[in-house]
Structure 1
Amino acid sequence: MDDVWDIDVWNELNRFFPNNRNESRILVTTRISNVAVSLGSQESYSLDFLNEEKSWNLFCHETFAQESCPYPELEEIGKSIAKSCKGLPLTTVVIGGLLANSNMTREYWESVAENVNAFRNSKDYKQCLQILSLSYNSLPIHLKPCFLYMRVFREDSKVNFSNLTKLWIAEGFLKSIRGKSLEEAAETYLRELIDRSLILSHKFGDDGNIITCGIHDVLRDLCLREYEKEHFIYAPKVQRVIVFSGLEKQKCFICGLETALDMIDLDEVNYASQLTSVASVWACNTCKNMYPSLNKTRLVRVKLVSKIWRSSESREKEILHPTSLRYLEVDRGGLRKNTKFEENYVFLFWKKREAWIGLTIVSTILPVYKNLESLLVEAKDLTLEKITFPTSLKELSLYSCNILWEKMITIGSLLPNLQKLELDRNTFEGHEWNQVEGEFPRLKVLKISHSDLKWWRAENIHFPKLESLILCYMKYLEEIPSIIGDIPTLHSIYVQRCNDSLIDSAKQIVEEQHDNGNENLQLYINKERYQVGSS
């Protein structure tokens, strides 16, 4: 049974295939991984992209109707063409079929190798897209915009999932799922698209979460076709790169590209006096094609001020952004600010470069965002007493802040809604962490990386909701508090590049839990799942 889309198909036919023990088998293929899992009496077999050898074998079979190339002068060029298909059998079959009826001369094949993309206009290639479009057409309505949005990335891009999440949120693609944040909903959406083989997962983190993803060139072509057919996005809601520096360059005011630019005039709105003027901005061809109503976009002018680190000087810059904007990134001046307005979701980032945002500005900015949910701060010698974190925070990442462990109570007890805490590069200094009762009542994920911590004393009452503990590059920490294993919600411990004593304590915790009947707790050591009883 080829290309099964729904488990109900098999349920309808199953009664006609009784199990009479005659050792027969039924082979089922599907594009959807959860269908394969539901159907199979045995473990499903996942087909990956073809490697170079298999691509070449398939290419030869389609082009020459044999297992090798009968024309020695064409072999090297043919392998280059087969490689350009990037492991997708459907593309390999299409191009091989086209060349089977071609002029078998070196000159012609060289012209093909130099411009494989020309075949994208062929009738057979369009038939290839038609076959793949079945996967798009079968998508639930909430997944279609997320898939189509992948066209905004260049070919072969490895897209950071964290950034993709913010873009999906900014565009308004995500629906809230009960009990889940928008970021968790985004990961659910992404995994559904991966299960349907429409998006590729490239890299996973220590905790098993997706770090980067991408899309095959042929599927990107499908995105482009459907994107234009449905007139997907009319006005820009995202401004991804705004450079904050004294060295001004001609760049697209939406995406930051420096190529294929044209100057266009757009209305600039002055809300204070209700006056409208015309502003001239640079826009690249990609953005002009992407947003059919770009010429109708109205702009507002914003002044950004950045204070130079350890200096009384400040730097100012005016930028223009669309009135429909939901997401903004400002970079290279110390301040990088990503803002999603409609869902009260704001991201603030500090990056150590040639300039730094001052602490006085931090303490002034944070109280304004009373509904702030996610915050990343990178700053040396951060003084927590000078900062009032919004109690609405659900995610907090701190980098290189050099805070004493005894000050952790400022975070643990004053942020009742915190669900994820990430501490990296000696954010907290010292060798000992003694926890206090009442800290972290809702924390689900705790990650500590590159820390000098040696002794950690905790009770299971300190993390009543903890689900995942991640420890990376902990060279000095001797052990994980054994009581951590008794947290009923804990389902995973990840240790990456830690000392042997810490790893042994993690093994002991998991072994004891399994002995007590808790088989849900899993341990991953350097990304490999630990098998209980193997040590």
Structure 2
Amino acid sequence: MEDLAADYLKDLINRNLVLVSQKTSNGGIRTCRIHDMLRELCLRKAEERNLVQPIDWYKRVASPSTPISSNNLCFHSHGFHDLSENPLCTNFRSHFFYASERTPPRKLPTTSFVYKFLWSLNLCYIVLKVFPLEILQLFHLRFLELWIDHLDKRPLLISNLWNLESLVITKEEWDGVIIPVGIWKMVKLRHLRISQEIEFETPLSNSGCPYLLNELQILSALKLSHSGKDAEDILARTPNLRKLTFYRGPSGHLEWKEISKLGKLPRLEILKLRRNCFSGHKWKTGDGEFCQLKFMKLSWMDLKQWIITSTSHFPNLERLVVDTCKYLEEIPAVIGDVPSLETIEVYWLSCSAVNSAKRIQEDQKSKGNDGLKVISYSIRRKGGL
């Protein structure tokens, strides 16, 4: 279904009816814009077919008798008003709130919790003080997005939402989020996006939980909270990941030789390695790994030597980003021969590493490949770095 929707969207873009405003790391479509006239046409058709009903509170105050009949409500306002006591509201499935800017921290209105059959709840423009426990009553939720000012270190109690497919949480504080073991019973979960590091309540090897998340495609950002064995268990339970962001926790790490566990994920397309999630100074890639990877980012890693012996190690790589890996001596020259590679970006690296990226570009030009772009920004570091 998602692939079909993406094809329809690309068709609209090709006909200049929709404009791409933001892209994902692997060149996909993140957000789009449309012309005002087309927007008005879409809203009019959506209301005619009862697909969505946008609500502007300034207009609604002037005309309070207008019934709310759509299953999908979209709120536009600088503030938030409560519909829970409005007799004109009928049962609805989707609740979206948009604003020109995020509103300050506040208690969440009861509007969203009156309707037990909600499928989609998007409150990313309301900064919540704490995680609203009332949400746990919405058993039919499939999509949930929140912006939370504070989460304590107790596990995030979400496993009751067994129908949930997408969970997106932006968190202000930089102290991580603990996920309960019960999440492995949420077998419909496909997207888990949390702006801070994710760690699990207890090691999976001790949990006795038999479930797999076969549908999970996006996991961001996993932090090793116990050991490399914990990470191995997590990857074994999420065999169909397409996107993974990997951190090192305070008590967990993997050796570079163990990165093959990630390399064997058959559908992995986007990989971000951060904050020394792999320890050691040498990474030698192996055959049959990262076969579908299109985007890779290394940031804040202590890696010195990166050895690639064959273009078959990253056969579909399109974009490589290396950021603040201050000890890295050079970008492997072989990676320039990967046919699909379009861009190499290097930021805050040693002079030798930056120069190696430029040599790769020059070498490719001499071979007739003028399409490879190298983007660099660097400063000279002490000790020749």
C-alpha separation in 2, matches of 1:321 and 1:416: 34
1:176 aligns with 2:4: yes
* Ranges in structure 1 where 5+ consecutive residues have no aligned partner: 1-171, 239-253, 268-280, 288-293, 301-314, 527-535
Cα shift at 1:326: 2.7
In the superposition, the TM-score normalised over structure 1's length comes to 0.45
Partner of 1:475: 326
* Equivalent residues in 2 for 1:481-520, closer than 5 Å: 481-520=332-371
Contact kept, 8 Å, 1:352 with 1:379, in 2: the verdict is: no
Closer, same or farther: CA 263–423 of 1 in aligned 2, 3 Å = same
Instruction: Pick the structure with more strand per residue.
Output: 2
Aligned length: 293
Provide the aligned C-alpha RMSD in A: 4.7
Contact kept, 8 Å, 1:351 with 1:378, in 2: the verdict is: no
1:433 aligns with 2:283: yes
C-alpha separation in 1, matches of 2:351 and 2:30: 27
Cα shift at 1:485: 1.4
Cα shift at 1:508: 0.9
In the superposition, the TM-score normalised over structure 2's length comes to 0.59
1:457 aligns with 2:307: yes
Candidates 216, 237, 243, aligned match of 1:372: 216
Cα shift at 1:482: 0.8
Cα shift at 1:505: 0.7
Partner of 1:312: none
SS at match of 1:391: coil
1:392 aligns with 2:243: no
SS at match of 2:260: helix
Closer, same or farther: CA 359–415 of 1 in aligned 2, 3 Å = farther
C-alpha separation in 2, matches of 1:189 and 1:237: 27
C-alpha separation in 2, matches of 1:482 and 1:513: 10
1:231 aligns with 2:74: no
1:446 aligns with 2:296: yes
SS at match of 1:259: coil
C-alpha separation in 2, matches of 1:362 and 1:377: 20
Larger radius of gyration: 1
SS at match of 1:503: helix
* Ranges in structure 2 where 5+ consecutive residues have no aligned partner: 53-69, 92-107, 120-131, 159-163, 168-186, 378-385
1:263 aligns with 2:84: yes
Closer, same or farther: CA 358–226 of 1 in aligned 2, 3 Å = same
Partner of 1:320: 137
Cα shift at 1:419: 2.0
C-alpha separation in 1, matches of 2:48 and 2:217: 37
C-alpha separation in 1, matches of 2:259 and 2:138: 39
Structure 1 counterpart of 2:317, which letter? L
Closer, same or farther: CA 487–299 of 1 in aligned 2, 3 Å = closer
Closer, same or farther: CA 295–450 of 1 in aligned 2, 3 Å = closer
Closer, same or farther: CA 298–461 of 1 in aligned 2, 3 Å = closer
C-alpha separation in 1, matches of 2:110 and 2:373: 50
Contact kept, 8 Å, 1:438 with 1:462, in 2: the verdict is: yes
Contact kept, 8 Å, 1:382 with 1:403, in 2: the verdict is: no
Contact kept, 8 Å, 2:81 with 2:109, in 1: the verdict is: no
Partner of 1:360: 203
Instruction: Pick the structure with more helix per residue.
Output: 1
Contact kept, 8 Å, 1:335 with 1:350, in 2: the verdict is: no
Contact kept, 8 Å, 1:426 with 1:450, in 2: the verdict is: yes
Identity %: 28
Closer, same or farther: CA 519–473 of 1 in aligned 2, 3 Å = same
C-alpha separation in 1, matches of 2:295 and 2:40: 38
Partner of 2:105: none
Closer, same or farther: CA 382–296 of 1 in aligned 2, 3 Å = closer
SS at match of 2:136: strand
Closer, same or farther: CA 186–327 of 1 in aligned 2, 3 Å = farther
Cα shift at 1:481: 0.8
Partner of 1:339: 165
Cα shift at 1:470: 1.8
Cα shift at 1:447: 1.5
CA deviation profile, 1:88-127 (whole Å, cap 9, x unmatched): xxxxxxxxxxxxxxxxxxxxxxxxxxxxxxxxxxxxxxxx
SS at match of 1:470: strand
C-alpha separation in 2, matches of 1:237 and 1:175: 25
